């Protein structure tokens, strides 16, 4: 069985901003999840990102037997390909205050140089493991970028310096084939965001996968079962507890 996390925005972005992350932790635990992903962009107030608030939130997550992921929309690399060490350092400090297992950033404008030494200078001694996620744009969601990133880390002598969050649905946003990406990147994947998508272009939005979707079966077959799978599609608000329980069970066994 594979571990399953629930991403906070599965309960609805507005609902989380209104009620706070705390309101959903117990539901995630009762659904059988083993992890809970906190989303920086869903904080209603800047004070929610203070060390004190993050420590309190992390304690609540741990008290329910869950591990935490800290997700930030910040990008690891700027448009010029330079490492954004300040953003990485801030995200790591917040993740460590939360007590997170992983800190997740977007890849950003990677251009061929990984800056492994500078990353190691920020991440060394930190509790949270750094993972980068494929985004929804061609700029930060191209399979070739991630292939090049891990090749650059290999050249710079740090092949395991960071890992990858593989978002199955985001590949479609960026016009990429999820199965090709899984084939090329599986050895670097440590965490999996699970969602499908509907619509086109700017009107595309996340939906739950079909349980008999052959694409998901094929992708899961290529990715390591040791990589936890996260629900990042909307749960039915009229029966969120039961819906979450059913999806957690499916993802754990699929």
Looking at the predicted structure, is the pLDDT value of residue 200 above 80? no
The reported pLDDT for the residue numbered 201 is 66
Overall average pLDDT of the 125-152 stretch: 93
β-pair type (102-108, 67-77)? parallel
**Percentage above 70 pLDDT, the chain:** 99
Task: Express each pLDDT in 144-165 by its tens digit.
Answer: 999 999 999 999 999 999 999 9
Looking at the predicted structure, is the pLDDT value of residue 138 above 70? yes
Number of domains in the chain: 1
- Average pLDDT over all residues of the chain: 96
The reported pLDDT for the residue numbered 139 is 78
Regarding pTM above 0.75, the answer is yes
The reported pLDDT for the residue numbered 214 is 94
**Which of 22, 143, 122 minimizes the C-alpha distance to 74?**
122
Q: What are the backbone angles phi and psi of residue 31, rounded to the nearest 5°?
A: -75, -10
Confidence class for position 173, pLDDT limits 50, 70, 90 = confident
Confidence class for position 222, pLDDT limits 50, 70, 90 = very high
Range of the domain at 225: 4-253
Task: Express each pLDDT in 44-85 by its tens digit.
Answer: 999 999 999 999 999 999 999 999 999 999 999 999 999 999
Q: Which positions ≥6 away from 150 have C-beta within 8 Å? A: 159, 164, 185, 188
Q: Which positions ≥6 away from 186 have C-beta within 8 Å? A: 222, 223, 224
Looking at the predicted structure, is the pLDDT value of residue 202 above 70? no
Do residues 120 and 159 make contact, with C-beta atoms less than 8 angstroms apart? no
Do residues 190 and 225 make contact, with C-beta atoms less than 8 angstroms apart? no
Q: Which positions ≥6 away from 52 have C-beta within 8 Å? A: none
Overall average pLDDT of the 206-221 stretch: 94
Dist CA 38 CA 63 (whole Å): 15
**What CATH code is carried by the domain that includes residue 120?**
3.20.20.150
In the block, tokens 């539901």 appear at 27
In the block, tokens 């998508």 appear at 197
Do residues 88 and 122 make contact, with C-beta atoms less than 8 angstroms apart? yes
Dist CA 135 CA 157 (whole Å): 26
Show the 3-state SS of the chain.
Answer: CCCEEEEHHHHCHHHHHHHCCHHHHHHHHHCCCCEEEEEHHHCCCHHHHCHHHHHHHHHHHHHCCCEEEEEEEEEEECCCCCECHHHHHHHHHHHHHHCCCEEEEEEECCCCCCCHHHHHHHHCCCCCEEEEECCCCCCCCCHHHHHHHHHHHHHCCCCCCCEEEEECCHHHHCCCCHHHHHHHHHHHEEEEEECEEECCHHHCEEECCCCCCHHHHHHHHHCCCCCCEEECCCCCHHHHHHHHHHHHHHHHHC
In the block, tokens 């890849």 appear at 107
Overall average pLDDT of the 172-195 stretch: 95
């Amino acid at each position: 069985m594979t571990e399953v996390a629930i991403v906070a925005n599965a309960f609805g972005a507005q609902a989380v901003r209104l009620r706070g992350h705390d309101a959903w932790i117990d539901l995630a635990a009762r659904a059988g999840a083993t992890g809970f992903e906190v989303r920086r962009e869903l904080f209603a107030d800047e004070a929610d990102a203070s060390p004190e608030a993050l420590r309190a939130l992390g304690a609540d997550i741990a008290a329910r037997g869950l591990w935490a992921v800290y997700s930030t929309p910040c990008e690891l690399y700027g448009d010029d390909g330079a490492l954004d060490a300040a953003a990485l350092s801030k995200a790591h400090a917040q993740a460590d205050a939360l007590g997170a297992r992983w800190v997740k950033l977007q890849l950003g404008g990677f251009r061929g140089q990984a800056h492994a030494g500078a990353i190691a200078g920020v991440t060394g001694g930190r509790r949270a493991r750094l993972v980068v996620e494929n985004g929804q744009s061609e700029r930060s969601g191209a399979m070739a970028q991630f292939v090049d990133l891990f090749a650059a880390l290999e050249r710079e002598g740090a092949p395991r310096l960071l890992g990858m969050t593989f978002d199955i649905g985001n590949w479609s946003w960026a016009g990429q084939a999820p199965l090709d990406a899984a084939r090329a990147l599986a050895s670097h994947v440590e965490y999996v965001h699970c969602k499908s998508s509907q619509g086109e272009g700017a009107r595309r939005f996340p939906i739950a996968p079909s349980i008999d979707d052959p694409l998901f079966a094929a992708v899961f077959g290529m990715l390591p079962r040791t990589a936890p799978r996260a629900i990042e599609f909307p749960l039915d608000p009229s029966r969120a507890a039961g819906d979450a329980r059913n999806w957690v069970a499916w993802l754990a066994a699929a």
